Structure 1
Amino acid sequence: MLVLRALFLTLFVVYQANALAELEEVFAWKELTFDWPNEDAKNAAIKDGEYVPENNLPLGLDRWKNKLFVTVPRWKNGVAASLAYVPLDAPINKSATFIPYPDWKANTIPKGDTKPESDNHIISTFRVSVDPCDRLWVMDTGLADILGSPKQISPPAVVIYDLNTNTLLKRYTLKEHEDVKASSFFANIIVDVTKDNCDDAYAYLPDLGGYGVVVYSLKNNDSWRFKHNYFHFDPLNGDFNVGGVNFQWTDGVFGLALGPQDSTGFRTVYFHPLASLNEFSVSTSVLKNKTLADDPHIYNLFKLEGKKGDKTQTSASVFDEKSNSLILTQLNRDGVACWNPKKPLNSDNFALIAHDPEKLIFTNDIKIDDERNLWILSDKMPAFIYRKLNPQEVNYRILKVKVDDAIAGTPCVA
């Protein structure tokens, strides 16, 4: 009987392994390197402490044509550039150098107490979003040396670039008291727009520290803030064990994903606090309506979709319209999962689609490109923050897989 049980468990493990998606490792770095103007510039940056290789951790990503954008937040001093890209049309080098975007000058921190010379600057960004109108939206926190001696060099702002010309289109500074609270921390940006109406774009900015969502309207050049209980963290699910590091976080609303347009032209926004096992939703008809931001009667316009299951805390999420699947990172499970909103959200319908205890340690961000490739960035961030990464090991990876291959054989397939 024991032999049969052991055989059954072995076959089950093998089946589970085979059922998970096979990921292509596109990039892998021990430490990040940058495309310096010349060797003298690099050496000077190292000497002045402006480039400390071990302090550069990639965190967010998105793709536009032959560019894969990657963010490098200024967690510590010595981050060479907070916004960069790696080319996808060059011969693939798994440890490709980062090219600052839009250029080196925009990514250079002013010395002393001086302010940036122009609106065309990026101090520190966590995530970016490419929209259908060939624009790159950046949430610039303006905060440098976050884990050391934090310095607010410029106020939090939405920064928009024209990707065809690599020029700045707009910098919108969030309202100091209305949008930004004392505990605010903006680490994500989701853009709601269609290609046939580029001027009427909205950006949704989750505030993980201040437990709110700020909405920015490009057409009106205005912003407003929503608050709701669902934006807060769950005190029962703030414990994490990732890559051998145990830590506790109180991060609130974090990941947002846009579902397809309904018959009225609005979408469903799926969202979750990072320290939570629940998934929630709200219609963009609510978020786009500035007058509702201060309405105390909108509580029931927000919906609890359900509980994903044990240890399903999620950072980023993205929606694939063709398969109608919400795809979510799984921090405590070293992987990525999916759920089809046509089915109730519970542990039976929530499926792990990728898992690797080494390559997927802290899956920080995911995106789906126009070819329906699912891009995954993992970066061992807990060890970076609470311990120290080993520069002799691969610490940061970017992997990809076709969405249909990833979700095949799971409940996410309608």
Structure 2
Amino acid sequence: MLALKSLILIAFLAYEASCLANLEEVFAWKELSFAWPNEETKNAAIKNGEYVPAHNLPLGLDRWKNKLFVTVPRWKSGVAASLGYVSLDEPINKTASVIPYPNWEANTLPKGDAKLEGDNHIVSVFRVAVDSCDRLWVLDTGLADILGDPKVLGSPAILIYDLNTDQLLKRYNLKHEDLKQDSFFANIIIDVDKNKCEEAFAYIPDLGGYGIVVYSLKDDDSWRFKHNYFHFDPLHGDFNVGGVNFQWTDGVFGLALGTPDQQGFRTVFFHPLASLNEFSVNSAVLRNKTLTSDPHIYYEFKLEGFKGDKSQTSASVFDQKSNTLFLTQLNKDGIACWNPKKALEPENVALFVSDKEKLIFTNDIKIDSDRNLWILSDKMPQFIYHELDGNQVNYRILKVKVDDAIAGTTCVG
């Protein structure tokens, strides 16, 4: 029996190693660098505190053609630009500098008591979304120096850019009734048919106010849903990541869109960050503003099931071809998958890759048009509660083909 157990362990470790070998490390930074206009501008920014290299932590990502977008929230002072991209043109420089998007001017904060002017300005972004209509959707929190001397420089807003021209198409400030006292928006998911680009919907989870805000591009209007399932689980807010123990109360956080049905509606999978459960609701509910005040819609939200112990998840993303939901696993330094054709039970959730160094705090994941799964890890707990070692690689972006990731797991079929 002991020999059999040893063989099983060896087989498991070999599988895990082979799966990790399929992960391509595309970018790796000790500290994030930026494509400054010139060295003099960079040195001046460092001298006056507008650029503190150690304070620039990449958090979100998405891909469009040869651009890999990267967000840098203004957790601390000295963030050079909150939204930018790195080039995917060959040969790729693994320590490439981030190019501000759409430009430096849009990412520059006003000095002193000066106010932000115009619509094309970006304060602090956590995540972005590229849609099938060649648009970049940006959720700007409007908050700067969150962990230091917090400043509210603007209302939470949605910005939509035309990626073919890099021009701002739309800025929409969330309405007062969309916000709660503890609202915090760190994600945005876009629901759109590429043949009906003007009928897009944005779903924005409020992790602090425990709600989901929906924005309709066609109606240029937004509304807010509330539900018990949006709240954190008080029994599962304890985290141990990268040697740091902390407790969070983050509610609804990750959203992922399933395959459209004949009417064009999708299953919207969601979860609070501090939870071990996955939930869902049909997008037909979220798209209908009149249902926000209907008490009967409570029962339209479903419990999909239990993901397993220590399965707290930040981001998630769905691959339609393989019918697979991918889920970050913060307490396990990895990524898992689940096929919704199977019951959501721990045995049907496959941790297909885990690494205690390269995948410390898998903050965001996305699937591009070539079905590459992109993964960003950034050691964020160390960044928030202690400080990062500038002599070590702290931030990584990796990728793997979706089919390679799920091969041999319970997520197939």
Q: Report the TM range for the smaller structure's normalisation.
A: over 0.9
Q: For 1:226-245, what aligned pairs fall within 5 Å after superposition?
A: 226-245=225-244
1:80 maps to what in 2? 80
Label 1:134 to 1:3 Cα distance change in 2 as closer, same or farther (>3 A). Answer: closer
Structure 1 unmatched ranges of 5 or more: none
Deviation at 1:297, TM superposition (A): 1.6
Provide, for residues 92-112 of structure 1, a one-character-per-residue CA deviation record: whole Å limited to 9, x for no partner.
110000000000000001112
**Separation of aligned partners in 2, 1:317 and 1:405:** 18
2:190 maps to what in 1? 191
State which drifts further: 288-297 or 95-104: 288-297
2:403 maps to what in 1? 404
Deviation at 1:7, TM superposition (A): 4.8
Q: Would you say the 8 A contact 1:22–1:354 is kept in 2?
A: no
Deviation at 1:354, TM superposition (A): 1.4
Deviation at 1:3, TM superposition (A): 5.6
Q: Would you say the 8 A contact 1:30–1:395 is kept in 2?
A: yes
Q: Would you say the 8 A contact 2:58–2:72 is kept in 1?
A: yes
**Structure 2 letter corresponding to 1:311:** K
**Structure 2 letter corresponding to 1:257:** A
**Separation of aligned partners in 2, 1:369 and 1:300:** 33
**Separation of aligned partners in 2, 1:65 and 1:130:** 10
1:337 maps to what in 2? 336
**Separation of aligned partners in 1, 2:23 and 2:186:** 26
Identical counterparts, % of pairs: 75
Provide, for residues 136-192 of structure 1, a one-character-per-residue CA deviation record: whole Å limited to 9, x for no partner.
00000000000001101010000100111101111100012x101110000000000
Q: SS at the partner of 2:268? A: strand
**Structure 2 letter corresponding to 1:129:** A
Q: For 1:260-279, what aligned pairs fall within 5 Å after superposition?
A: 260-279=259-278
Q: SS at the partner of 1:41? A: helix
Q: For 1:282-321, what aligned pairs fall within 5 Å after superposition?
A: 282-321=281-320
**Separation of aligned partners in 2, 1:192 and 1:21:** 33
2:47 maps to what in 1? 47
1:219 maps to what in 2? 218
**Separation of aligned partners in 2, 1:272 and 1:337:** 14
Q: Would you say the 8 A contact 1:76–1:144 is kept in 2?
A: yes
1:70 maps to what in 2? 70
Is 1:117 the equivalent of 2:96?
Answer: no
Provide, for residues 60-93 of structure 1, a one-character-per-residue CA deviation record: whole Å limited to 9, x for no partner.
0000001000000000000000000001114211
Deviation at 1:226, TM superposition (A): 0.2
Label 1:228 to 1:236 Cα distance change in 2 as closer, same or farther (>3 A). Answer: same
1:389 maps to what in 2? 388
Q: Would you say the 8 A contact 1:21–1:401 is kept in 2?
A: no
State which drifts further: 119-128 or 16-25: 16-25
Deviation at 1:2, TM superposition (A): 5.0
Q: SS at the partner of 1:297? A: helix
Q: SS at the partner of 1:63? A: strand
Q: SS at the partner of 2:95? A: coil
**Separation of aligned partners in 2, 1:364 and 1:259:** 21
2:91 maps to what in 1? 91
**TM (normalized to structure 2)?**
0.98
Provide, for residues 378-407 of structure 1, a one-character-per-residue CA deviation record: whole Å limited to 9, x for no partner.
000000000110000000000000000000
Tell me how many residue pairs correspond in the alignment.
Answer: 413
Q: Would you say the 8 A contact 1:21–1:353 is kept in 2?
A: no
**TM (normalized to structure 1)?**
0.98
**Structure 2 letter corresponding to 1:50:** E
Deviation at 1:115, TM superposition (A): 1.6
Label 1:3 to 1:306 Cα distance change in 2 as closer, same or farther (>3 A). Answer: closer
Q: SS at the partner of 2:40? A: helix
Q: Would you say the 8 A contact 1:20–1:352 is kept in 2?
A: no
| Higher helix proportion (structure 1 or 2) | 2
2:34 maps to what in 1? 34
